[in-house]
Structures are given as structure tokens and as C-alpha cells.
Amino acid sequence: MAFIKGLIYLRARWKRLRGLRGVIATGLGGLFVGVIGIWFPEVFAVGYPAVSKALTHSYTLPFLLCLLVLKLIATAVSYGTGSLGGIFAPTLFMGAMAGGAVASLAELAFPGFVAHPGGYALVGMGAAFAAVIRAPLTSVLIIFELTQDYHIILALMVANAISLALARYWHPEPIYSALSSQDGVALPDYETEHLLHEIHVSDAMIGNVVTLPEDITI
């Protein structure tokens, strides 16, 4: 929720800026992320190498938490100030770090009774995706495609349901709808879709069209 609210807030502030002030804000955002990347290059780009290390439990708990917080801040600042990039890969990155951190905490609390930490990271990726993107079924399909293993699907579905419920409670509007609203784009809602069912294709067709005979010569 901190990621969603921070990104939307910063982007709203940036869009109010005009001309040189907007360019300066974008430059400062890039500078801020660049400074973070000097000491923590893992937050740069999509971060798949770092995700792989989280899946293999190669990071310590403090480092996982550090990457989680820094990636959240860097993505919110970068995207919120108009820099290029998206939120798909960062969401998976943060989910992997959060899941890996939960695995490390579980090992400390229940040594010897914890499943493979990679499973926690995968479930974290799926739950984060479900909460931010609001696509829980897509999350399940993505994780299954990555692993080709159905053993964690049940845990993933439970985590998705919980994360989606909490996300809808704390921020009812989906992130892409909020971003579209900032750009002045109104996405169709359920009522609009319902009206489409009352319109036939023939109502929208243009019947009086110019046609050419099939035997016409060039």
C-alpha cells in the first residue's frame, strides 16, 4: 500500500509542474535513484538477478528488507517523477524480497520446520502482484509458468486472496485506474459495460457503403 499511495502521490505532484520545473523534477528523481544504485545496484532495471538470489535464499534478512524498501522508494520516485519504466517487474521484485524476508523470519522462529525459502519468495511475488495489479488469477498463472510446479498453488491462492482483500480495503481504486484518472482517461466501469449489452452490432453499423463489383478491372 505504501508503494501504491507513494507512486500515485508523487505522480500527481509531478504532473502539476510545468515546463522547466517538470524537467528539473524528473532530473532530481533520476539523480535520487542513481545515488541509491551506487551502493545498491540491485535496485536498477528489472532486477531479475536479485530475484533469482532471493529464490535461492542467497540474501540475509537485513539485506532483503533493505532491497525491499529501496526498490519501493526508487520505483515510486522514478515512475512518479515521469521517468521511463513500469510497475510490473518492480512489483515482482518487491514481492520476492518480502517473501524471502518472511522465510528468514520463519526460520528464526521455527527452525527446522520451514519449507524451502524459495517457495516463500514465489508466493510473495504472486501476492504482491495480486495486490498491486489486482489480477490474482494472472498471478497464479505467472507463478505456475515460472515454476511448472503446482505444489505451491494453494498457498499462493490463499496469499492472493488475503493481499487482494487488504489492498481493496486500504485502496479501493486499482492502480491503473488511478493513473488513468490522473491522465484524464476514464476507463469503462461495470455500468458502461452493461449498457453495451443493450446495443446490437447492427445499431452501430453503417449500411449504406460503397461496394465494388467482383469482376471490375484494374
CATH assignment at residue 54: 1.10.3080.10
- pLDDT tens-digit map of 127-159: 999 999 888 899 999 888 887 778 888 889 999
- pLDDT tens-digit map of 184-207: 776 666 556 666 677 888 887 887
Share of the chain above pLDDT 90, in %: 27
For residue 217, pLDDT beyond 80: yes
Q: Is 129 helix (H, G, I), strand (E, B) or coil?
A: helix
pLDDT score for 121: 92
CB distance 125 to 102 below 8 Å: no
Rounded (5°) CA angle 89-137-124 = 50
Rg, the chain, Cα only: 23
For residue 106, pLDDT beyond 80: yes
Average confidence score pLDDT of the chain? 84
pLDDT score for 189: 61
**Considering the domain boundaries, does residue 211 fall inside one?**
no
pLDDT score for 18: 64
Task: Count CB atoms within 10 A of the CB of residue 55.
Answer: 21
Q: Which domain holds residue 116?
A: 2-204
**Considering the domain boundaries, does residue 209 fall inside one?**
no
- pLDDT tens-digit map of 107-119: 888 887 777 888 8
CB distance 33 to 78 below 8 Å: yes
Domain count, the chain: 1
pLDDT score for 188: 63
CB distance 123 to 92 below 8 Å: no
**Considering the domain boundaries, does residue 163 fall inside one?**
yes
pLDDT band at 39; cut points 50, 70, 90: very high
Share of the chain above pLDDT 70, in %: 94
Comparing 5-14, 18-27, 71-80, 160-169, which segment has the lowest mean pLDDT? 18-27
Q: Residues near 182 by Cβ (< 8 Å), separated by ≥ 6?
A: 8, 11, 12, 15
- pTM for this prediction: 0.77
Number of helices (H) and strands (E), helices first, in the chain? 11, 0
**Considering the domain boundaries, does residue 72 fall inside one?**
yes
φ, ψ for residue 108, nearest 5 deg: -70, -35
Burial (CB < 10 A; 0-12, 13-18, 19+), residue 176, is middle
**Considering the domain boundaries, does residue 152 fall inside one?**
yes
pLDDT score for 63: 94
**Considering the domain boundaries, does residue 59 fall inside one?**
yes
For residue 89, pLDDT beyond 70: yes
For residue 22, pLDDT beyond 70: yes
**Considering the domain boundaries, does residue 213 fall inside one?**
no
**Considering the domain boundaries, does residue 113 fall inside one?**
yes
